């Protein structure tokens, strides 16, 4: 499935888009070993302390990049999300020639200045990290928001925050008699 902007891409960009769309997961080596990093991020976010959150986010990013075999990015956590009539900016990935790629993530909502929810914050960080992985791990010349891109983001999230195991519902036993 392609998003509306697909038709405005060049033929070469459409080829990259289709490649990206076809890759739906990224497997992290030993994701359970990252649980302490995820918990540190959760606690730092709950504390509302920007510096602690920046450190925890950077450490998680470094550990993920190490397990995926790519150089890490720099990470910057900022306070209140910038906003406009069209919405709020949650995160940003930038590449500048000659510099280390950079991820910015905002920790507070624009409207009320509240600390964002853990799952929202982590997904935002992983979204920006997926742009980095598109370039360095998948070696794509462009990082498009494809359905595959969003599935890769989800695959990372669910490796870091596994779904709780729920037992399958029992079927009622037939009545005797």
SS3 93: strand
User: What's the pLDDT score for residue 168?
Assistant: 57
> Where do the domains of the chain lie?
34-160
CA distance 44 to 50: 8
User: What's the pLDDT score for residue 164?
Assistant: 76
| Phi/psi at 104 (5° precision) | -115, 135
- Which of the residue ranges 84-93, 99-108, 167-176 would you say has the lowest mean pLDDT? 167-176
Mean pLDDT value across residues 55-72: 98
User: What's the pLDDT score for residue 5?
Assistant: 86
pLDDT tens digit sequence for 118-154: 999 999 999 999 999 999 999 999 999 999 999 999 9
Would the pLDDT of 65 be above 90? yes
Mean pLDDT, rounded, of the chain: 92
User: What's the pLDDT score for residue 166?
Assistant: 58
């Amino acid at each position: 499935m392609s998003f509306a902007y697909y038709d405005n891409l060049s033929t070469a960009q459409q080829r990259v888009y289709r490649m990206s769309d076809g890759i739906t997961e990224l497997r992290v080596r030993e994701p359970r070993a990252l649980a302490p990093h995820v918990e540190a991020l959760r606690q730092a976010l709950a504390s509302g302390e920007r510096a602690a959150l920046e450190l925890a986010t950077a450490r998680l990013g470094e550990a993920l990049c190490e397990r995926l075999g790519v150089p890490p990015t720099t990470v910057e956590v900022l306070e209140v999300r910038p906003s406009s009539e069209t919405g709020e900016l949650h995160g940003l990935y930038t590449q500048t020639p000659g510099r280390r790629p950079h991820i910015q993530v905002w920790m507070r909502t624009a409207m009320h200045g509240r600390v964002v929810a853990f799952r929202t914050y982590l997904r935002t960080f992983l979204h920006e990290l997926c742009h980095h992985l598109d370039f360095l791990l998948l070696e794509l010349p462009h990082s498009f928001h494809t359905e595959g891109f969003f599935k890769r983001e989800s695959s990372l999230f669910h490796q870091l925050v596994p779904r709780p195991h729920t037992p399958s519902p029992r079927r009622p036993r037939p009545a005797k008699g």
